[in-house]
Structure 1
Amino acid sequence: MANTNFKFQKRQKELDRKKKQQEKALRKQEKSDPEDEAGVLPEEIADAAL
């Protein structure tokens, strides 16, 4: 019978937690940064210019 690799599980849990925190921070940042009046993000404007 195989033994459980607890270090691997712990590392995966930590990575999931960090990913979730980053996604939350991005959502919070997007919420606080208002879009242009036309609803176009500055990144889209830069891509369209190319």
Structure 2
Amino acid sequence: MAKPNYQFQKRQKELEKLKKQEEKKQRKLERAKEESDENQEQADDGEEVS
């Protein structure tokens, strides 16, 4: 019976963790962009040209 390759398993787990962190970072950036766009639209709506 072959021995388990713990280094490979550990590396795969680390890669999965990094991928998940990157996806989370992207979601946060998208959410921040949407909020800034909404705030910009609200500011534009609030200003009246006289």
Q: TM-score, normalised by structure 2?
A: 0.66
More helix by share: 2
User: Please, which runs of 5 or more residues in structure 1 have no aligned partner?
Assistant: 38-50
Partner residue of 2:48?
none
RMSD value, Cα: 1.8
In the TM superposition, residue 34 of structure 1 has moved relative to its aligned partner by 2.0
Deviation per residue, 1:10-49 (Å, 9 max, x gap): 0000000000000000000000002868xxxxxxxxxxxx
Identity of aligned residues (%): 59
Q: How many pairs are equivalent?
A: 37
For residue 34 of structure 2, give the secondary structure of its aligned residue in structure 1: coil
Structure 1 segments of 4+ aligned residues over 6 angstroms from their partners: none
